Amino acid sequence: MSIWEYANPKKFMQTSAWALPWVTGLAAITLVAGLVWGFFFTPEAANFGTTVKIIYIHVPSAMMAINIWVMMLVTSLIWLIRRHHVSALAAKAAAPVGLVMTLIALFTGAIWGQPMWGTWWEWDPRLTSFLILGLFYLGYIALWQAIDNPDTAADLTGVLCLVGSVFALLSRYAVNFWNQGLHQGASLSVDKQENVSDVYWYPLLLCITGFILLFIMLVLTRTRTEVRLRRLKALEARERLA
Amino acid sequence: MIPELGKYAVSVMSAYGVTLVLLVGIVAQSLWRAARVRRALDAQEQRTGARNG
């Protein structure tokens, strides 16, 4: 069996119909469990006080904002190189979810930053690159809406996705590239000394899993809608010609 | 039931509130649009099927 089988819309619809209830159930369980654990059953931190509870929504959403763009980059490249329609539609379906994740990361970051740094916003490398990533999401969605021909739209948004990847990478590594600004370094690390302590790490891991599963659920649902919409437009066009 | 959040209560609750609104919004919009497109496609397929006999 090859992964390219899923480029066939019929195969994609069959497989996603089977997977969707499982992914939805798992997303709901992990997300609720992680957020309840983090919000109700973790202690306040010495340096952050009770604002540490914001970590359970801020870190997963920021991770998703960057990684959704990476997923869009991969699916856009598959479209540009192999012309598989489902992959272009998956990229289109993922963009609004990525925008929402970026907005959550920006809003929760500002709300967290105010009591910790004394300011809602600072033109810090990571914050600024995240804002630009959000603008790229908006531009990407607008470009899909602005072009009638779906193949042309997929081509142009694919190129925009390639360009925007620079900012997705910058958002991830800004604190490493420029050792300045207010934002702290990465909260998560394979090095146990640098990673957040276990009491915060386990519920955070559950929340990250929940956000990933929620994204998979949303992107499957939205891609299925895009596949149906394309078939609907094809049938309408055929009816007009008849 | 709600843990003691002290002087940061407004910050923590508003961060969770904004997140909840945005997540519920994108889930609701995705499901609503999925249902709308599915209904439209079913209706179109019935029309096409009826016309083709």
Query: What's the one-letter identity of residue A43?
Result: P
Q: Read off the DSSP letter of residue B8.
A: G
Burial of A129 (0-12, 13-18, 19+ CB in 10 A): buried
CA angle A23, A26, A29 (to 5 degrees): 150
The pTM of the full predicted model, rounded to 2 decimals, is 0.92
Question: Phi/psi class of residue A146: alpha, beta or left (left: φ > 0; alpha: ψ in -120 to 50)?
Answer: alpha
Task: Give the CA distances from residue A134 to residues A129, A162, B10, in Å, rounded to whole numbers and listed in that order.
Answer: 9, 15, 26
Pairwise CA distance, residues A151 & A157, whole Å = 10
The CATH classification of domain A25-241, taken from the options 1.10.3470, 2.60.40, 1.20.120, 1.25.40 = 1.20.120
Pick from A105, A230, A235, A109: nearest CA to A168: A105
Structure confidence by residue, pLDDT tens digits, B1-53? 678 888 899 999 999 999 999 999 999 999 999 999 999 999 999 988 877 76
Nearest CA in chain B to A238: B48
In this structure, what token pair is assigned to residue A97? 């979810």
**Cβ of residue B8 closer than 8 Å to a chain A Cβ:** yes
Q: Does residue B21 sit at the A interface (CB-CB below 8 Å)?
A: no
- Residues from chain A that touch B38, judged by Cβ atoms under 8 A, are 225, 228
Give the residue carrying structure tokens 């960057």: A66
d(CA A195, CA A186): 8
Q: How many residue pairs bridge chain A and chain B with CB atoms within 8 Å of each other?
A: 97
Mutate to test the interface with B, among A20, A47, A92, A229 (most CBs of B within 10 A): A229
H-state helical runs in chain A: 9-40, 55-82, 85-117, 125-146, 150-177, 198-241
Count CB neighbours of A62 within 10 A.
Answer: 24
Are the beta carbons of B22 and A236 separated by less than 8 Å? no
Q: Given an 8 Å threshold on Cβ–Cβ distance, is B16 in contact with A39?
A: yes
Confidence of residue A191 (pLDDT cuts 50, 70, 90): low
pLDDT digits (tens, 9 = 90+) for A124-161: 888 888 999 999 999 999 999 999 999 999 999 999 99
For chain A, the structural domain boundaries read 25-241
Residue B19's pLDDT is 97
The number of beta carbons lying within 10 Å of the beta carbon of residue A216 is 18
Residue with tokens 């094809």: A234
Distances (CA, A) of A159 to A84, A86, A92, A153, B17: 16, 17, 13, 10, 36
Complex prediction ipTM: 0.92
The pLDDT value recorded for residue A151 is 94
- Residue B49 buriedness (CB in 10 A; 0-12 / 13-18 / 19+): exposed
Number of C-beta neighbours around residue A16 at 10 A: 19
Give the separation between CA A170 and CA A87, rounded to whole angstroms: 25
pLDDT at A190 over 60: no
